[in-house]
Amino acid sequence: MKTILITGGAGFIGSHMVRFMLNKYPDYRIINLDSLTYAGNLENLRDVEDKLNYSFIKADINDADAIQKVFDDHDINGVIHLAAESHVDRSISNPTEFIHTNIVGTVNLLNAARHHWKDNYEGRLFYHVSTDEVYGSLGDTGLFTETTAYDPRSPYSASKASSDHLVRAWYHTFKLPVIISNCSNNYGGYQFPEKLIPLIIYNIKHNKPLPIYGKGENVRDWLYVVDHASAIDRIFHKGCIGETYNIGGNNEWKNIDLVKLLCKIMDDRLGRPEGTSEKLITFVTDRAGHDLRYAIDSGKLQSELGWEPSLEFSEGLEKTVDWYLANEEWLNNVTSGDYQKYYDKMYSSR
């Protein structure tokens, strides 16, 4: 039996990862470690929480002793590390938290794995989930490959780049078995409505302005979150130790075009005349240091490990809209508390 520690399993991608592993590997023991920040929510896992091979531990990766105890008590042999502060805008208003969790928290996990495994690395793996933002910003052409030089621009991406370097340092210096993947923008159900797609869906539903940073010309490559989970699974089981794999959807969209598409789908779903939601589009002050374009070459993952995304974007996006409309209670719950206060403060300053 394998015991896999998934950090950040109560968050957006983490909850899909936990569900994916529980469904595919009933003989694995899956431990979800999460401190339940504003972005973590155990409601994301209601459908799988009763499985006997699943357990949840509330712990903060900044707490080195607590993390070491989890490794020692549960004899962890694989780690899929997703816990992080993940929102670029928050990293601009409060960078320090990103340094603690994303950098120091990652080092605490690396140390705990190394000390628990005591140089006996057979059948062990530390998998670090990272972002394409570490590569910086592209112009109109070109793609990020695994050998693109790191050039992070935001406190978030700098903290993730730093954690990637530290993971590699533990591999080279201590021979800790590690793998890193760098993925593009994910979308799907259970994403906190501060990220573009769920925010736009939420605001359309509530007839609120749809904030577009700058001119909406920035480009992102979107991947359905379950396809990210399937890529991580493939790399976790078949990838080469010490390697990096890029994961992407080969699916570039200018923000403004994506928001207009969402408006169209929402008008249809809500039975509103076409063009109603687009009227809510509001151009606001640009994000500081806003990266122009991300685009991923995931050729290595496709050719070496045979992975490819399963879902067309149009299908994935409609599925996602339908998910948020069907899960009103979830949306209401995660937007109760400080959400509105944070959101109003954030947008009144733009």
Residue positions annotated with a catalytic role: 132-133, 156
320 binds ligand NAD (CB under 6 A): no
Choose between 2 and 87: whose C-beta lies nearer to ligand DAU. Answer: 87
Choose between 70 and 199: whose C-beta lies nearer to ligand DAU. Answer: 199
Query: Residue 114: enclosing H or E segment and its boundaries?
Result: helix 106-117
13 binds ligand NAD (CB under 6 A): yes
Cα-Cα-Cα-Cα torsion 189, 192, 196, 198, nearest 10 degrees, comes to: 40
Minimum CB separation from ligand NAD for residue 269, in Å? 23
Residue pair 200/262 in contact (Cβ under 8 Å)? The answer is yes
Minimum CB separation from ligand DAU for residue 126, in Å? 19
Residue type, 51: K
Q: State which of residues 91, 106, 108, 131 lies at the interface with ligand NAD (CB under 6 A).
A: 131
Q: 88 contacts which partner out of ligand NAD, ligand DAU, none, CB within 5 to 8 A by kind? A: ligand DAU
The phi and psi torsions of 223 (rounded to 5 degrees) equal -130, 135
163 binds ligand DAU (CB under 6 A): no
**Among 202, 197, 207, which Cα is nearest to 280's?**
207
Q: State which of residues 74, 87, 208, 254 lies at the interface with ligand DAU (CB under 6 A).
A: 87
Residue type, 8: G
Minimum CB separation from ligand NAD for residue 122, in Å? 27
157 binds ligand NAD (CB under 6 A): no
**Tokens 């936990």 found at:** 18
252-254, strands of its sheet edge to edge: 185-187, 219-224, 252-254
CB hemisphere CA count around 200 (13 angstroms)? 29
Rounded Cα distance between 61 and 104, Å, is: 8
Residue window 22-61: x/- pattern of binding to ligand NAD, with contact defined by CB under 6 A: ------------xxxx-xx-------------------xx
Q: 30 contacts which partner out of ligand DAU, ligand NAD, none, CB within 5 to 8 A by kind? A: none
Cα-Cα-Cα-Cα torsion 234, 237, 239, 243, nearest 10 degrees, comes to: 110
> Which residues from 121-140 bind ligand DAU, rule CB under 6 A?
131-133
Query: Residue 322: enclosing H or E segment and its boundaries?
Result: helix 313-326
98 binds ligand DAU (CB under 6 A): no
Q: State which of residues 17, 196, 204, 301 lies at the interface with ligand DAU (CB under 6 A).
A: 196
Choose between 40 and 177: whose C-beta lies nearer to ligand NAD. Answer: 40
Burial 254-282 (b: 16+ CB within 10 A, else e): ebbebbbbbbebbbebeeeeeeebbebbe
Structure tokens given for 8: 């950040």
Minimum CB separation from ligand NAD for residue 130, in Å? 6
Structure tokens given for 148: 């693109």
Residues binding ligand NAD (CB under 6 A): 8, 10-14, 34-37, 39-40, 60-62, 82-86, 101, 105, 129, 131, 160, 183, 185-186, 192
Residues binding ligand DAU (CB under 6 A): 86-88, 131-133, 184-185, 195-196, 199, 211-213, 218, 220, 255, 287, 294
